[in-house]
Amino acid sequence: MANLKDLKNRIRSVKSTQKITSAMKMVAAAKLRRAQDNAEAARPYAARMGAMIQNLGQKAAPETAPALLVGTGDDKRVLLVVVSADRGLCGGFNGGIIRTARREVEALESAGKSVEVMMVGRKASDALKRELGEKIIDSREGVQGTAVAFAEIDSIAEVIRARLKEGALDRCVILYNRFISAITQEVTLSTLIPVELPENAETETPSVAPYEYEPSEHAVLEDLLPRNLSTQIYTAILESSASELAARMTAMDNATRNAGDLIDRLTMQYNRTRQAAITTELIEIISGAEAL
């Protein structure tokens, strides 16, 4: 059984930890509102751009359409963009991404495909760099947070566009945590290249009026597709940033509550041990007095 000094030191240590987790929870909660607003504000723009790309893509001929729209016509080389956090202490946020990325790479390789990986975030890169090795073609850190720079995201998209132009990839997918609510984040796998078009255009809701594109539909598509790629990656990273802060806030709240419960148990154990020691001393004193 631990003595009183050990219990007192343990209680003091847990209280110090509780102060840290409580502070981290408040910091994450303060940042979450801004990150959530950024993620939700980016969704309509990305959705409308995606709808316009789909509208143009349905009319484009596969033989002359840009590779960013229809891919290379093959599916042998796949680039997987994995978005994780730069820091830990956010519950299962990074673990879910790492496990899904590992399963996806294994599934693609089992299907006979060549896989390359681009890492955005330090935690997944540190966890997977040994087993993936040379498959990791690029790794980025410090691009997430409450102030995500579009220029930094566009540089990531530029690497993907360059790989496509060189013929080094046929398909590109992105893996990230989509923000649902402060307590729910969903691991999402989305295809960036080729653009996912509806299989049956007749099932889509018809527009009120047909679009007229100037100078031409092909020229507009050529200009929009690179911007759409950057926008989709930017939106995914905004979603991931909000999800990370929400997961950290929840994890630190649980840690603070658990620390409080542990302090209560240790305090009760301390009081019982102290009472037992006092009782033992009283018995010894009474026994000594009776012996006299």
- Predicted confidence at residue 196, as pLDDT, reads 80
CATH number of domain containing 45: 3.40.1380.10
pLDDT band with cut points at 50, 70 and 90 for residue 200: low
The tokens describing 41, both together, are 């504000």
Highest mean pLDDT among 62-66, 184-188, 215-219: 184-188
Domain that holds residue 228: 24-197+213-250
Token digits of residue 247: 């997961």
What is the value of pTM for the model shown? 0.85
Cβ neighbours around 263 below 10 Å, total: 17
Q: Does the residue 106 lie in any domain?
A: yes
171 in any annotated domain? yes
| pLDDT at position 58 | 80
Largest CA distance in the chain: 113
Is the pLDDT at 132 greater than 80? The verdict is yes
- Tell me which residues are annotated as active site: 90
Side by side, the strands of the sheet bearing 136-140 are 136-140, 114-120, 77-83, 171-181, 184-193
Reply yes or no on whether the pLDDT at 5 is more than 50: yes
Higher-confidence position of 158 and 200 = 158
Using 50, 70 and 90 to split pLDDT, how confident is the model at 221?
confident
**Other CB atoms within 10 A of residue 88 CB:** 15
CA-based radius of gyration for the chain:
28
CA angle 102, 149, 195 (to 5 degrees): 55
Q: What average pLDDT does range 58-64 have in this prediction?
A: 76
Tell me, yes or no, whether 255 lies in a domain: no
Query: Is residue 291 assigned to a domain?
Result: no
- Provide the residue count of the chain: 292
Nearest-angstrom CA–CA distance, 61 and 47: 23
Q: Is the pLDDT of residue 114 over 50?
A: yes
Arithmetic mean of pLDDT, 102-123: 93
Residues whose CB is less than 8 angstroms from the CB of residue 163 and which lie 6 or more positions away in sequence, other chains included:
79, 116, 137, 169
Tokens 């290379």 belong to: 72
Average pLDDT, the chain: 88
Mean pLDDT to the nearest integer, 216-241: 89
Q: Is residue 142 part of a domain?
A: yes
Total structural domains within the chain: 1
Give percent of the chain with pLDDT exceeding 70.
93
Note the pLDDT of residue 94: 93
Task: Determine the pLDDT at residue 161.
Answer: 92
Q: Is 154 exposed, middle or buried (0-12, 13-18, 19+ CB in 10 A)?
A: middle
Percentage of the chain beyond pLDDT 90 is 60
Note whether residue 226 is domain-resident: yes
Question: Burial of 47 by CB count in 10 Å (0-12 exposed, 13-18 middle, 19+ buried)?
Answer: exposed
Measured in whole angstroms, the distance separating CA 281 from the mean position of its chain's CA atoms is 58
For residue 50, being part of any structural domain is answered with yes
Kindly state the tokens that stand for 228.
Answer: 């759409």
**Residue 217, exposed/middle/buried by CB under 10 A (0-12, 13-18, 19+)?**
middle
Q: Of the segments 59-73, 136-150, 170-184, which one has the largest average pLDDT value?
A: 170-184
List, for residues 10-41, the tens digit of each pLDDT value: 999 999 999 999 999 999 999 999 999 999 99
Q: What's the whole-number mean pLDDT along residues 152-164?
A: 91
Amino acid at 101: A
pLDDT at 199 exceeding the cut of 70? no
Paired sense of beta strands 171-181 and 184-193, if any:
antiparallel
pLDDT at 206 (0 to 100): 46
Query: Which range is least confidently modeled, 64-78, 174-188, 256-270?
Result: 64-78
Residue 289 lies in a domain: no
**Residue 158: pLDDT band with limits 50, 70, 90:** very high
Question: Average pLDDT of 61-80?
Answer: 85
